[in-house]
Amino acid sequence: MTKPYFRGRSIHRLDAKGRLRIPSKYRDILKNHYTDALVVALLEGCLVAYPPERWEKLEEKAEHLSDVHPKHRAFMRWFISSAEECEFDNKGRILLSPFFRSKAGLDSEVILVGVLKGFEIWDVAAWESHDEWNRSHYQEILEGIAAEGL
């Protein structure tokens, strides 16, 4: 059996109400391995979407962060507080709130980027800029990952 990882990239359009159709390959992972829903949060200029079970594991770890450490509180205020549960409609779409669309700079064309435990939702132009940076630092990134043991 294939591991339940989110892989690949695909370009999609938000409709006028901010709904995003999730590709069937991602929906199949959710249906076959998790609850058929998503938790979406802000991260580094994009949105990140997790199956609820994966999000719960992240919250369990975050629960042990300090209530008084400034960086821990900043993480909780920024990342954890931004999370919204997103249910699918009968057409396999989730509604991205105006808050999310504004904060992530999402217009109409978005790219979904699989990152194993979940996937990111980027504005296409923002992704291209971010991807250009990644390509220009590719060797440095690989060396850092190799030093981590991969």
Question: pTM of the full predicted structure?
Answer: 0.91
Per-residue pLDDT tens over the stretch 71-110: 999 999 999 999 999 999 999 999 999 999 999 999 999 9
Q: In the beta sheet, which residues pair with residue 10?
A: 112
Q: Is the pLDDT of residue 62 over 70?
A: yes
Structure token pair of residue 97 = 């709130």
Q: What is the pLDDT of residue 133?
A: 87
Per-residue pLDDT tens over the stretch 3-49: 799 999 999 999 999 999 999 999 999 999 998 899 999 998 999 99
What residue spans of 82-123 are helical by DSSP H?
98-103
Distance CA 84, CA 111 (A): 20
Instruction: Determine the topology of domain 9-123 in CATH.
Output: Chemotaxis protein chec (3.40.1550)
First-to-final CA distance of the chain: 23
**Beta-carbon neighbour count of residue 27 at 10 Å?**
15
